[in-house]
Amino acid sequence: MTDNKITELLARAASGDPEAAAAFMRARALRLHAAELVSASGRTAALRMLRRAS
């Protein structure tokens, strides 16, 4: 989902649209989950590199 769509959902949610609010929360949760996966993957790669260097 693009930033424009998320912004539009947030605006609709703020105006009282419960379906838009639910969709916004789902989209936000998916983005946070994806960011955590990338972060965890980066930490794992860094630990592997450190182990190999030791």
Residue 37 is which amino acid?
L
Whole-number Å distance between alpha carbons of 18 and 8:
13
pLDDT at 13 over 70: yes
Residue 13 near residue 20, CB atoms below 8 Å: yes
Looking at the 3D structure of the chain, how many domains does it have? 1
Residue 6 near residue 27, CB atoms below 8 Å: yes
pTM of the model: 0.64
Question: What percentage of the chain exceeds 90 in pLDDT?
Answer: 67
Q: List the domain range (segments joined by +) for residue 35.
A: 3-53
pLDDT at 2 over 90: no
